[in-house]
Structure 1
């Protein structure tokens, strides 16, 4: 078992440095914000120059709307707040600007020598679609928007370019958008694989804990059989005198009593265990982690819960701790982590896993994130309990596990 615990500790350390979906989304969003500002600055002089050839007020409004949405994307990426919403707004506004361009150009001379300035933001728009939309919708946007620009480029309002030049511009924008789409999709798939591997590692840990407990119990029973039962049988076989027979009888009664006690002490499905047993399991898991958690235990004496509930609470708590180790740090702050185990009356339990990390928007958890939806929320629900996640960006996270469900409201 020490070797297994060492392997688990190494796996936990590796998981802390692996690519996660949150990291992928953060990198993609910040790249979008950065390149949006860079490409926007590159196109700004041309945008101001061409705005004089548009309908009165249209040029200024177009520049204000698109550049304002670029700044909103950059701000959202920096603060990790409403990133997808800001990216989606920009993608929609850009597509609308492409469609509106032929309708607002009144002086064709402004586009005679250079393409519409919107071209320089095409890759920014396709990247925004990749960040904001599911893969299939992002693919459609990445293909359609460059094609729309190619059509506009053929029109007099788009410079009246030749077919070959319009196709070349559209294909170039399509290639850039496709490269971004492929890279982000590959990283997202890698992050999804990390989630699956994490879930498998937790299952292996739970199996190892069960196997270790079973081996300890078997060793205990084997020692009991050897020390008590076999000795009693040998003594009974050799007993000839009345006092020897009486001694063998007492030894037999003592052996039976000890066997009964051993049977009661081995938790089986349907049995109940005390909360100290659950606390020991959590401390054993914490001993394998590379990050320290403060453990607080309140009112656990005399509280018993079913084995199935203890298993669900233990596994969900370990998952919450792993999530904290993976996602709570941003490299700038010192994160404090705490595990609080509290008994409620004589048959209920509440476990809180809290940290002071970066936090997140609970509503933005992707559906494929197994660590939260499956390993915590669904696991507790299947065991008759409940899980509550309280978090906000910049304000840390607290995961509360309850068994049975609603126990806090009933106390």
Structure 2
């Protein structure tokens, strides 16, 4: 299943652009209002209906832009109202009326350009390419029919080109802006898809690491114990251990059991006992612990990671002294610290097939939301800090 983010950049751009255009349209309409009332005596009374129709459509564009609904309908309505008024304008002039030289343009002229912008704001390239030539030609024809003083043909063509080119330029600019916002959204979509894919891959890797740790910590130990069993009692014990390991694998296959809780005191006591069994000469610094509870799976992870760190110190460090510190952190957090004075090593030189550190310590803690830090250098010993914070 593909996860798709909302087109946030495009959506925000459209909302802001329409709101700004609505306010600009309202301000520009003041010019229409002023010229209409100056020229009112030249036109028949019915012209007022067309004026108020255009005014109402302007108000609808502003309101719908602010509320974010039905704005496309309002934009089309305003453009259509302007075009219709333009078409019937010559029939709205008084029989004996004429436009004075001081007027130069009929009042509807100041609504023609914004009408073209309305279609541009819609973002429908085909509609824009169709409407702008019609609007421009309609204005040229209207100017020729009105016949005010001057050179109507020249003025008409000039004004028609002005409407077409200016509105076309605005439409092109809006198209480029929309294309930019689409690119931003596309980049965000790709980033989100990449993040989701990485998260899924990481989840699968963590599950693989958990199973690898289980095999390394349980199955491998069982096999070694079985291989070294000599007496009948040891063989029976290895068979029992093998059965328990198989049961553990079945549990892992079926899914994690319901989470239960253990106290920090119980965890520290158990870990102290296991640590001394694993490393008899170990120096221990263990808090008494308290009754703060931690999830069982966290306790198991801390135990396995700590025992693995002790095993590494015992078998690979050549250390004379190894110490284990156990302490509770704020809340129900836990920190285990294994320190040795051995030969140390270069952390970035650990082979990938050495799962003792990569999987059983670092990976194991990561599966329960904890983490481990390893501080080491050749000749400087090693300190492994295992931490889980609630």
TM-score (norm 1): 0.55
SS in 2 for 1:147: helix
The equivalent position to 1:176 in structure 2, one of 166, 178, 201, is 166
Instruction: Measure the CA separation in 1 of the matches of 2:123 and 2:96.
Output: 36
The equivalent position to 2:88 in structure 1, one of 91, 100, 112, is 100
Instruction: Measure the CA separation in 1 of the matches of 2:57 and 2:179.
Output: 29
Is the 8 Å Cα contact of residues 53 and 108 (structure 1) preserved in structure 2? yes
SS in 2 for 1:97: helix
Is 1:47 matched with 2:5? no
Q: Which moved more, 1:71-80 or 1:119-128?
A: 71-80
User: Deviation at 1:48?
Assistant: 1.8
Superposed CA RMSD in Å reads 2.7
The equivalent position to 2:217 in structure 1, one of 211, 227, 230, is 227
In the alignment, which residue of structure 1 is the partner of 2:250? 260
Bigger relative contact order (CA 8 A; separation at least 6): 1
Instruction: Measure the CA separation in 2 of the matches of 1:144 and 1:159.
Output: 25
User: Deviation at 1:138?
Assistant: 2.2
1:4-403 pair list within 5 angstroms: 20-55=9-44, 57-105=45-93, 106-110=95-99, 112-113=101-102, 114-132=104-122, 134-157=124-147, 161-265=151-255
Instruction: Measure the CA separation in 2 of the matches of 1:158 and 1:262.
Output: 91
What does the per-residue CA deviation read over 1:51-99, in whole Å, with 9 as the maximum and x for residues that have no partner?
A: 32223x1232222221222122222223333222222211110000111
Instruction: Measure the CA separation in 2 of the matches of 1:158 and 1:78.
Output: 40
Is the 8 Å Cα contact of residues 150 and 166 (structure 1) preserved in structure 2? yes
What does the per-residue CA deviation read over 1:6-33, in whole Å, with 9 as the maximum and x for residues that have no partner?
A: xxxxxxxxx99x9623322222322332
Question: Residues 155, 218 of structure 1: CA spacing in aligned structure 2 closer, same or farther, 3 A cutoff?
Answer: same
Instruction: Measure the CA separation in 1 of the matches of 2:216 and 2:43.
Output: 97
Instruction: Measure the CA separation in 2 of the matches of 1:225 and 1:204.
Output: 31
Is the 8 Å Cα contact of residues 99 and 148 (structure 2) preserved in structure 1? no
Is the 8 Å Cα contact of residues 111 and 158 (structure 1) preserved in structure 2? yes
User: Deviation at 1:158?
Assistant: 6.1
Is the 8 Å Cα contact of residues 8 and 185 (structure 2) preserved in structure 1? no
User: Deviation at 1:111?
Assistant: 5.2
Any gaps of 5 or more consecutive residues in structure 2?
259-390
Question: Residues 49, 157 of structure 1: CA spacing in aligned structure 2 closer, same or farther, 3 A cutoff?
Answer: farther
Greater CA radius of gyration, 1 or 2? Answer: 2
Question: Residues 19, 242 of structure 1: CA spacing in aligned structure 2 closer, same or farther, 3 A cutoff?
Answer: closer
SS in 1 for 2:201: helix
Question: Residues 161, 111 of structure 1: CA spacing in aligned structure 2 closer, same or farther, 3 A cutoff?
Answer: farther
Is the 8 Å Cα contact of residues 18 and 65 (structure 2) preserved in structure 1? yes
SS in 2 for 1:213: helix
Question: Residues 75, 159 of structure 1: CA spacing in aligned structure 2 closer, same or farther, 3 A cutoff?
Answer: farther
SS in 2 for 1:218: helix
Instruction: Measure the CA separation in 2 of the matches of 1:234 and 1:48.
Output: 102
Is the 8 Å Cα contact of residues 52 and 59 (structure 1) preserved in structure 2? no
TM-score (norm 2): 0.58
Any gaps of 5 or more consecutive residues in structure 1?
1-14, 267-272, 275-411
Question: Residues 251, 42 of structure 1: CA spacing in aligned structure 2 closer, same or farther, 3 A cutoff?
Answer: same
Instruction: Measure the CA separation in 2 of the matches of 1:134 and 1:240.
Output: 85
Question: Residues 102, 83 of structure 1: CA spacing in aligned structure 2 closer, same or farther, 3 A cutoff?
Answer: same
Instruction: Measure the CA separation in 2 of the matches of 1:213 and 1:116.
Output: 70
